[in-house]
Structure 1
C-alpha cells in the first residue's frame, strides 16, 4: 500500500512526462508545417474574386500569368482538322447559296478538280472517301453559280479543291513533218506497238519489210491496218512504211490503225472529225484479262461435279 506522498510523486512524474511529449509533438508539427511562398496565393473561401495584378505587385507578391496557346480552330481536336474546316466552310456556303441561279452549261468554266488521293496528299490527313465525295459534290454545285452572282468568298472556298494546273487548257501537241515530208505516228493496242511513217505517194504500204498481204494473212486484219486511209478516202494518196511488234496479228493491225491515223492528221488536220467518226482517233483501252487461280481461264470455272 502506497502512501499519499508516494502517490503525489507518481502523478507529478506523469504530468512532467506528458508535458515533454506535448512539447515534442508541437515542435514536430511546426517542422511539418508548410509556410506559404511569396509566389503563391491560397484562397480559403469557396468564392473566387478577380485579382488585380497591380495590388499584388504592391504587396511584394510575384504574379505569375499562366499563358497557353489556343488552337486556331475547334477542328484542331479532330482527326482531320484541315479537311473539317474546308468541309464546314463548303457546307455553310452550300446552305446559303444552294438556290442561287446557275449559269448555262456552256458558260460554266471548266475546272480540274483534285482527285481523292491527291487531296489526301495535299492536306496530309486520313480523309474518308465518302466524306470527300460529299464535299466535292457541294463544291461542284457552288461552282455552277452564275459568275455575276458568285461572291469572292465562294471562289476562295473552292480553291483547295482545284488542281494547280488547268488540264483542260493544255494545247494539243502536233506531230511535226520532217524535211523528207514524213509524219511519224504511234499506236498501241493490247500489248502491240506500231510506228507508221506516212508520206505523200501512190498508195504503197510496207509493214516490217513485207507487203500488206504478207504481213497479215487475214482479210479483216488487212482492212484494219489501212482503215484510216480507206475511211478518209486517201488510200491512193499516201505511202506507209510501218514497224509493228508485240502481241498478235489482230492487235498489231489495230495498233497500226491508230498510228496511221495520227500521222495522217499531221498532214491534213481537217480529217480529224471524219477519222473520229470512223473510230480511228481514240485508242481502245481494253486489255487481256488475267487468269485467276482456280479458274480454267480468266473467267471460266471448272465443271461442277456433284460426287
Structure 2
C-alpha cells in the first residue's frame, strides 16, 4: 500500500509541474541526440546517414511495446528508465528500477551502436523479465558494450557485439533473414554467444507474423537454444496478439516452454495480458501485466502474477 501511495503522490506532483517536466524531458531528449551526434562525429568521417525505411504496422507495434525482438535488433537512439513492482502468489514481491540505453553511430562507414541493457537495481537477486517476452527468459543480466551492424542484403542482416555481461567479457554474432508475403511476414534469427568463462551458447527464433487488420496482428514464435554449461535443449512456443491504438496498446500471449533433459513435455505454461498507455505526452507510460503461470518447479500449482511499470522514454527527436 505504501508503494502505491508513493506512486499516486509522485504522479500528482508530476501533473502539478507540467511545464517544468515538459521542459526537463525536452532538454534530456535533445542532449541524448546531441551527445550521440558529437560522439558519432568524433569517431567518424563526414559521411551521410542512410535513410531509415518507413516502419510498417508490425514494426511500430514492436517499437511501442519495446519487446525482446525490438531490443535485440533496434538501431534507434534512446534512454529508457523503468520503475516497476512485481507481485507473485508463489514467489517474493519486489520493487525494481531498470535502465536501457542505445546510442547508434550512424556516420561511421560500418554501423556501430553503444548499448546498456538491463542495468537494474532491485530488492531481489533476480532481474525483472520483460512483460513482452515471447518466450520466458531464464535470466536477464546487465550488458554494456558495442554492437556492429552489417546488412548483407535486402533480406539478410547481421549484428556482432563485444562487451561485458555481469563479471565476464562476451562476444556474440546474430544473423537474421526476413521475407514478406501478402498475409505473412517471416523472420528467422540465429544468435551465437561466447564468454570469458568458456561458456558457449546458441539459440534460434522464428517469428511468423500474420496481419489481421489495421490495428492488430498475430505473432507465432518458435524458440530453441542450447548452452555448454546446461544439459538438454530449451524449446518453446508462443502465440501472441498485438493491438495498437493511437496512444495505447494491448498484448496477449500464450507461452509454452520446456527442456529436453526434463521429464515432461511442457514444464511451463504462461498466459499473459499486458496493457500499455501513454499518460504524459509521448514519453511517459504505464503498463499493467497480469499473468497466470503453471510451472513444473511449483508442481504446476496455479501461480498468479502482476507487474506494474512506469517508463520514461527519452529519444532523439521526441
Task: Name the TM-score, length of structure 1 as normaliser.
Answer: 0.19
| Higher radius of gyration, 1 or 2 | 1
Task: Name the TM-score, length of structure 2 as normaliser.
Answer: 0.19
More helix by share: 1
More strand by share: 2
